[in-house]
Structure formats: structure tokens, C-alpha cells
Chains A and B, each alone.
Chain A
């Protein structure tokens, strides 16, 4: 991974300061997204950051770039439309676990099997923070939250495994406690041609008192520090994706080069849709009418 900044990080400084709680993991993600964009040399005019709704989904407002702060759960769909309309843009999706793995999980899975060239950064805090602390799709079993006072009885979603079996071609996990490492994963994800998921442990310091910075720090390790993990093998990645408990892996699980959806879309052969003229060719139009005569 490149550690050279192609552009100064201040390029991406947004108009307002984040209103996240002090200590929120999302600060680390914001910095990593800026750093990753700087490393990848994405110009602000060509960067579109799309989010849904939730604490983390406020992120586009704290950046200098184009953005859509869309509906709860719909960021991936909106981003897909933007990318198909203008393939020259770098489209990064940012959001939380409730947004992406709960209400928006349908779009998440389908975008991966399409292998659209999108980068999806999920700030996974295993809780609903903006709505003050209910269980989320990644809340651990038995965790007591406002909505699960007797302990959560549902199994958490495994986003890494889900991404692997759904056809994502870049699957990684970062941690807000390791912002430099995470920035590298996001930068590589942006440069990867195809759907990239970067699931990020981004602790909620206000509402999740189980999955805290110290909790993660004593468990996480980097896959690249352990020889033997082959990130070109989906079966090996899938096995690693189930590692949870005392040891939790970070880093690149899997990466593969596959044709993107855009590559196989015939209407994009002439270049981005947004650059095509609107007026229809007269002889083409006449040939369409002939079918009705």
C-alpha cells in the first residue's frame, strides 16, 4: 500500500466540525477516509461520499467533497445509481451497522454480487447510537441494551463472512484504534476495481460499554502480521471470518480481480452516461418506430 499522500489531507477539510461524542470511533474513520482519499489522489470534485442515516452517516458533512446524506438504509442503492450515471467518479459509501447490516442489508448483498466499483466503509459499533442505545444487527448475543434488557437473544450478523459469500471482491476489517492501518485498507479499497467492504470496529463510547477500545485492543491482531493467511483464497478468508472471541483478526481477508458490473454493461461502452448527448439520433428513433408499424 502507498503511504505517500498525493494531495494534502487539508484538501478534504469539511465546512463544519463533527458533532460526535468525544472519543467516538468515527473520528478515526473520518481521518482515515481523508487520508485514504489523499493517498489515492482523488480530487474533491470527483469524490462522492454517500451515507445513510445514523451517527456515522453524518460523515459526508464533515468532508469537502460531493456527497449525498441519503435515507436510512438506502446509501448503497443511491451510490449505485451515482456510479452507473458517472463512472468517472470515485464513490465511497459510509454508514453504520444498523444502516448497512439492518435496514439496508438487501442493497448491501445485491451490490456485492453485482461487483459494482464502490467502496463501502461501515462504522460498526454494534449498537444503535443515534437513537440512544438499542441492539443492532451486530450486537453480541446476551448483550444487555435498552431494547434487550434481558440480554440479546439473536446471533449477530457476520459482515465479513456475508461479504465473502455474496461476491465482494475486496473484504477487510479495520479498527478506529488503529487509524493508520485502517486508512491503508480504505485507500486500497478505493483503488480496488470492484466492490470493497471495509468493516470498521468504531466503538460507541456512550452506549456500548461492552465492545470498548480496551475490549478490542486486547483481542485484535493484524492478518498481515501472521504468516500463512492467503488473501487470494476465499475459503481461507471465510475460515478467518469466523474467528471471534479471544482473538479477532484485522486487515485484508480477501481480494480478487473480477470484471465489474460497469465492465459488462453495454450502455457504458461509449463512456460515462453523464457525458452522452441527450438528443436521440433520428435514424435510430425511426428504427424504433418501425417496430410498431
Chain B
């Protein structure tokens, strides 16, 4: 398959987002599929940002792990990423500011751009505009059409006036023309279909899904990585007829949304793990008063404040256990960007049909990474099911029983404003009419029946929700088990394993509560070896799966360094498991380098950087060591040695040159 991965590295403020967006939109308008991921590398000075944009003719299910072209916007990016460029690839950089003083892999070409010379006639050029010159050069070399890119820039800068548009297109042309004369292109012979696909993040898909489903109330408190839903909603609320309320805290967020849901509008809120912790009591309230609400929990690295700009799947235990007591809730983990749209639409219907809170659990990777999806993945015409909504009630039939005991457990719901159906929705335990049985008139029999009524709703919901299916060869050597955002990357790892002659299949879970325990157990019983793959450190889903099915997975592949899985890592680990090789938690060479960067940045000087690394068997410090040569960034001269524990990761000693 024709595909290319472009990396763009630079400091915060270097304009990476816009550069990446121009690249992605250009490719998308040509009909290519695009998947991007922005990892904020805080280990290097200046809040380094590392954006990868993968382009291909076939649908992409992850950002992959290749690097074919690098646009380096600062020296760090060259240091760190240039050695990763694969054979046949390119390194583009501004030769006026940056230098290449390290070796590249074979068949990797360096493309230094004389930006000042190229832009001399283009007016006052801001530093950030060097990116557009580099983009022009890139497009020429990888075979993306100039006119389409110029069209994207025109759309991006139109609001700033024709002058700005002309200048940017000029910068693009300068880069495009310069390399055309000097360098042979590396680009594949693309087949551009020119199918226009939306380039969208999971959070944007959640927001658009809410609009399609008729959401009228959205409340939020700013919290990464959920905030972009708030930003989209705030920018579009008026046009879409949605009240968007930024609240004083997540307690208010959840309680307001539940109040709005009780009053009869489709209401949603979103947060991350810390905010959800504050919402938990309200989640139980929605279960108890049987009010519909959709809550999106976008996980980030925990615990506590954790790593706010990094991804993790560490909040499963929290959403499963949120709030005191037993009450019905539905938990859904969408598996990709298009699924975010479908999941929100479905969640609103489930919330109203079963009159309960629906928690959609996402993560930073799924919510923030942009990718192309198919045009018909987003539709204005979606099914809307409001459940048993009573619009009038004849008082001659007696008092309205808001919590009527029914075979399904679902009771008719009347909204305030409906005549003759007045009732109180209480968080205290209550009878069919909502009259309290909590204190003075506690009643065991009524309590038992209403507790059963509430929970029974999940039995019906389970029948409606699709059961998990095993994808891939039934006789596989390993079954890779995952949930939520890892669906695509696991599927891609399975393809890599197949290419290497290893047969694996996939069992992926979207509907987490209620849980298809019987169906899952039947599938798992037939698997030869099961491997849980989770972006957390304890295997929260594997434990849940064991509780629900009695099946203990054979092995776990866990990642909790803040970065998402990539196909190669999964494939390598699965291979190691199948071959019976031990998997160790020792500090790798790349990790030792990162620890060294951190040490230099915080304790020494940014004029220094790690050079050569050597692993020592130990020198009396109780563990093997990484000996890291520390060199001067400019001169390359050795300044000293840093020793890092190869097991503990401790920065054990710094010995400057005498």
C-alpha cells in the first residue's frame, strides 16, 4: 500500500499545529486517508512537540510507527528524530538556523533549505513562516499537488485578508520550486481519488454526534483532554440551539446536566478522570432518580493530576465503581473516531430509553488525535428514541407513578410541565410515586422491589446491545483482548504478525456495562492463549473480565508511559510471548537517553546533550548501569558522564570532566 509518515518536530509556539493541519488537509482533499498524533515531549527543552502525520491510500487505523520524512523546526528535533528516518526518507530543515551534525541512516537524504534567500522577495517573514517553505518543499518531494495545498492555505488565511493568503502561497511556492530543481522526488505514484473526507478528532465527533442526536444542553469545566468538546460547543452552541454552560466545578457540571435531563432536554457533559471523580455522587443520583444524562470521561495519565497531556486507559475502575450503592449505568468505550459519533447518538437513546446515566469512556489518544473518516460516518439523520415519555396524564387514573413497578423495570416518565403527573424525584429511597421510604417509614418490601426494578433495566439493555465478536482466524495462536481506543492499533499489529507468519486474532470490547459475560466466556474458552493489551499499569480490564467471566488472561501487554501503543511494540511483545522469551522492565537505551535529557534540563544546562550510551555490568551500585556520555551541543566535546541505573532508572551519578 502506498503510504508515507511525516514527522514535524519543534518547540511549543513554532506553529506545528497549523503546519500539520495544512499537510493533513491537503492530503485529505486529494483523497488520501490521514491519521495524525501529536505527542508533547516534555523531556526536551522548550516543551518539545512531536507531530506525526500518516498518509495513505487505504484506511488507516493508527498513526503507525514509521518515519519517512522529517520537518525539523529546531535543533532538538534533528538530534532526536533524524536518526529515526527510514531508508529512502528525507530530512528538511532551515539551513539558516539549524545544522546537521550527526549521521543519518543509509539512503536518507538531507534537504537543507536556505529560507532567507528563498523568501527575500516575500515581505517580512515571521519565524513561523519557515514552516510553510518547508511544507512546499515536502509537497514537491512526496508528490502532493501544489494547487490543492495553496487552496488549503487560502481557506486557512482567508479571514486575515488576501495579502496574508498571497504571502503564504508565495512561501509555499518558494519551497516547492526550490527542491523541484535540486532533488528527485521520493513520493509514491499516488492514485488520488479526491474523495473529500472529514478530518476530525474524537472530541469533535462526540460534539457533532451530540448535535445530530438533539443534545440541547452541554455543561463542562475546563479539563484536558476533554476541553476541546467545550470549545467546539461554545463556538457552535448558538447556531445549534445548545445552551453551553461553563460551570464553577464538575459537581455543578454533572448536577446541572442531570437537572436539564430531568426537565426533558438531552443533556451531556464531559471531563477527564479528576473531574469525573467530583461527578461521581451525581452519577448515582441520575441512577436513583432515573434521569437520563450522557457523561463523557476522556482519560488521561493518572493517578491524581498525573500527566495531563498524555494518554492512558486508567479510569476503568473509576467509572465502573463511581458512586455509592448499586444502581444501573451503561458504560461504552468507542473504538475509533467514527465510532465516537455513533456512540454518542446511541448513548442519548439508551439514556432516555432506560432512564439512567450513560458513561462514554474515551482517552486522550482517541479524543485528540485527528484523522480522516468516511463522509457518511457523520449523518444528520440518526435514530432518536426518547423512551417511555408521557406527554399527558389523566388524573382520573389516579396519581402518576413515576417509578411504577413494571416487568421491564422501565417506568413512564413525565416531564415537569405535564398536568396531573406532578411527583418528586428523590435521591432518598422511595416508592412507585416517589414518596420516601428512607427514614421514618422505611419499608423492606418496597425497597427490595424498587431496587430490583432499577437494576432489571440493564437486563433488557444487554439484550439490545451487540455482543463481542472474535475477529480473525479461529485457530489463532493468540487472541489479543482490548477495549476502547486500542482497537485499530491492535488490528494493525495482528496484520504485522501475520506478515511474520504468526496467527493472532482479536477480541475487542466496546460495551463494558452491562457486560456480555456469557458470550465473552464462550469465546474465551475456545482461545488457545489470551493476551490483554491495555494502556494502564495494572490491567484493569483484564481483572474486570476475570470477574465477569472467570477467564484469567494468559498474559498482559501494558503500557503506562503516557504514549499510545504503536503496532510494532504490540507485535514484538506478542512475538516474545509466543516464543517464550522473557519480557523485562529494564531501562532501554532510548529511555536512558530520555532520563539523561530530563537530568540535563533540570539539573545542569540546556547547552548539554546526551551523546554515546554504553551499558555497564555495574560498578558497585547494586545494578547494571547506563553510562551516558554528556557532550556540548555546539562543540560536541565531552563534558562528563552520567550514570543511570538500568533497572531502577535512577540518575545515580554525574561526573563532570576534570
Q: In the complex, are the beta carbons of A60 and B424 less than 8 A apart?
A: yes
Q: Which residues of B contact A110 (CB under 8 A)?
A: 247-248, 252
A14-57 toward B: CB 8 Å interface, digit per residue (1/0)?
A: 01100100000000000000000000000011101110010000
CA separation between A277 and B258, bound complex, in Å?
Answer: 20
> Chain A nearest CB: distance from B283 CB in Å?
11
Q: Which residues of A contact B259 (CB under 8 A)?
A: 50, 68, 70, 77-82, 85
Q: Pick the contact of A81 from B214, B260, B378, B424 — CB < 8 Å?
A: B260
A2 within 8 A of B: no
- Chain B residues touching A, majority SS: mixed
Which of A142-150, A170-178, A281-289 forms part of the interface with chain B?
A: A281-289
Q: Pick the contact of A106 from B236, B248, B264, B384 — CB < 8 Å?
A: B248
B187-224 toward A: CB 8 Å interface, digit per residue (1/0)?
A: 00000000011111000100010011110110100000
CA separation between A198 and B428, bound complex, in Å?
Answer: 26
Report the nearest A residue to B288, measured CB to CB: A71
Q: In the complex, are the beta carbons of A44 and B422 less than 8 A apart?
A: yes
A229 within 8 A of B: no
A292 within 8 A of B: yes
Q: In the complex, are the beta carbons of A84 and B256 less than 8 A apart?
A: yes
Contact of A81 with B257 at beta-carbon distance under 8 Å, contacts A86-B263, A278-B213 already known:
yes
Contact of A280 with B380 at beta-carbon distance under 8 Å, contacts A15-B433, A68-B262, A74-B251 already known:
yes
Q: In the complex, are the beta carbons of A280 and B212 less than 8 A apart?
A: yes
Q: In the complex, are the beta carbons of A85 and B426 less than 8 A apart?
A: no
Contact of A45 with B417 at beta-carbon distance under 8 Å, contacts A78-B255, A106-B252 already known:
yes
Contact of A106 with B265 at beta-carbon distance under 8 Å, contacts A15-B433, A53-B427, A293-B198 already known:
no
A192 within 8 A of B: no
Q: Which residues of A contact B241 (CB under 8 A)?
A: 267, 270, 273, 276
Which of B127-135, B434-442, B532-540, B594-602 forms part of the interface with chain A?
A: B434-442
B476 within 8 A of A: no
B282 within 8 A of A: yes
User: Which residues of B from 22 to 39 have beta carbons under 8 Å from A?
Assistant: 25, 28-29
Q: In the complex, are the beta carbons of B281 and A71 less than 8 A apart?
A: yes
A218 within 8 A of B: no
> Chain B nearest CB: distance from A28 CB in Å?
21
CA separation between A6 and B200, bound complex, in Å?
Answer: 56
Q: Pick the contact of B423 from A53, A66, A276, A286 — CB < 8 Å?
A: A66
CA separation between A60 and B261, bound complex, in Å?
Answer: 19
Q: In the complex, are the beta carbons of A285 and B262 less than 8 A apart?
A: no
B141 within 8 A of A: no
User: Which residues of B from 280 to 331 have beta carbons under 8 Å from A?
Assistant: 281-282, 285, 289
Q: In the complex, are the beta carbons of A64 and B247 less than 8 A apart?
A: no
Q: Which residues of A contact B289 (CB under 8 A)?
A: 68, 70
Report the nearest A residue to B428, measured CB to CB: A69
B415 within 8 A of A: yes
Q: In the complex, are the beta carbons of B416 and A48 less than 8 A apart?
A: yes
Interface size on B, residues (CB 8 A): 76
Q: In the complex, are the beta carbons of B415 and A288 less than 8 A apart?
A: no
Contact of A276 with B417 at beta-carbon distance under 8 Å, contacts A82-B260, A285-B380 already known:
no
Q: In the complex, are the beta carbons of B417 and A88 less than 8 A apart?
A: yes
Count contacts between A and B, CB distance < 8 Å: 208
Q: In the complex, are the beta carbons of A78 and B378 less than 8 A apart?
A: no
Q: In the complex, are the beta carbons of B260 and A85 less than 8 A apart?
A: yes
B150 within 8 A of A: no
Q: In the complex, are the beta carbons of A293 and B211 less than 8 A apart?
A: no
Report the nearest A residue to B416, measured CB to CB: A66
Which residue among B199, B245, B426 has the maximum number of chain A CB atoms within 10 Å of its CB? B426
B240 within 8 A of A: yes
Q: In the complex, are the beta carbons of A273 and B217 less than 8 A apart?
A: yes
> Chain B nearest CB: distance from A122 CB in Å?
18
Q: Pick the contact of A278 from B266, B422, B423 — CB < 8 Å?
A: B266
Q: In the complex, are the beta carbons of B399 and A274 less than 8 A apart?
A: no
A279 within 8 A of B: yes
A156 within 8 A of B: no
User: Which residues of B from 1 to 53 have beta carbons under 8 Å from A?
Assistant: 25, 28-29
CA separation between A74 and B386, bound complex, in Å?
Answer: 26
Q: Which residues of A contact B606 (CB under 8 A)?
A: none
Which residue among A19, A69, A109 has the maximum number of chain B CB atoms within 10 Å of its CB? A69
A184 within 8 A of B: no
Contact of A68 with B380 at beta-carbon distance under 8 Å, contacts A80-B259, A82-B262 already known:
no
Q: In the complex, are the beta carbons of A292 and B204 less than 8 A apart?
A: yes
Q: Pick the contact of A45 from B29, B260, B386, B416 — CB < 8 Å?
A: B416
Q: In the complex, are the beta carbons of A81 and B216 less than 8 A apart?
A: no
CA separation between A215 and B553, bound complex, in Å?
Answer: 70
Q: Which residues of B contact A73 (CB under 8 A)?
A: 251
B572 within 8 A of A: no
B267 within 8 A of A: yes
User: Which residues of B from 226 to 269 have beta carbons under 8 Å from A?
Assistant: 236-245, 247-249, 251-252, 255-267
Q: Which residues of A contact B74 (CB under 8 A)?
A: none
Q: In the complex, are the beta carbons of A280 and B214 less than 8 A apart?
A: yes
Q: In the complex, are the beta carbons of A292 and B200 less than 8 A apart?
A: yes
Q: Which residues of B contact A276 (CB under 8 A)?
A: 216, 241
Q: In the complex, are the beta carbons of A67 and B247 less than 8 A apart?
A: no
Report the nearest A residue to B423, measured CB to CB: A66
CA separation between A45 and B240, bound complex, in Å?
Answer: 29
> Chain B nearest CB: distance from A113 CB in Å?
9
Contact of A81 with B258 at beta-carbon distance under 8 Å, contacts A71-B285, A273-B216, A288-B211 already known:
yes
Contact of A61 with B426 at beta-carbon distance under 8 Å, contacts A16-B435, A278-B384 already known:
yes
CA separation between A289 and B28, bound complex, in Å?
Answer: 14
> Chain A nearest CB: distance from B481 CB in Å?
33
> Chain A nearest CB: distance from B240 CB in Å?
7
Report the nearest A residue to B253, measured CB to CB: A77
Q: In the complex, are the beta carbons of A68 and B425 less than 8 A apart?
A: yes
Q: Which residues of A contact B423 (CB under 8 A)?
A: 66-67
B58 within 8 A of A: no
CA separation between A74 and B378, bound complex, in Å?
Answer: 36
Q: Which residues of A contact B435 (CB under 8 A)?
A: 15-16, 61
Q: Which residues of B contact A70 (CB under 8 A)?
A: 255, 259, 285, 289, 427
Q: Which residues of B contact A273 (CB under 8 A)?
A: 216-217, 241, 243, 260, 265
User: Which residues of B from 414 to 460 have beta carbons under 8 Å from A?
Assistant: 415-428, 433-436, 439-440
Contact of A45 with B422 at beta-carbon distance under 8 Å, contacts A74-B255, A273-B243, A293-B196 already known:
yes
Q: Which residues of A contact B237 (CB under 8 A)?
A: 266-267
> Chain A nearest CB: distance from B65 CB in Å?
26
Other CB < 8 Å A-B pairs besides A60-B424, A288-B208, 13 of them?
Answer: A71-B285, A73-B251, A74-B285, A77-B252, A79-B259, A82-B416, A84-B245, A84-B260, A85-B243, A86-B263, A278-B216, A279-B380, A293-B29
Chain A interface (Cβ within 8 Å of chain B)? Answer: 15-16, 19, 44-46, 48-50, 53, 58, 60-61, 64-71, 73-74, 77-82, 84-86, 88-89, 106-107, 109-110, 265-268, 270, 273-274, 276-282, 284-286, 288-289, 292-293
The 5 A-B residue pairs with the shortest CB-CB distance, nearest first, are A81-B259, A278-B214, A77-B255, A81-B256, A285-B380
List 7 A–B pairs whose Cβ atoms lie within 8 Å, in order of A's numbering: A45-B421, A71-B282, A74-B251, A78-B256, A82-B262, A89-B417, A292-B198
Chain B interface (Cβ within 8 Å of chain A)? Answer: 25, 28-29, 196-200, 204, 208, 211-214, 216-217, 219, 236-245, 247-249, 251-252, 255-267, 281-282, 285, 289, 375, 378, 380-381, 384, 386, 399, 415-428, 433-436, 439-440
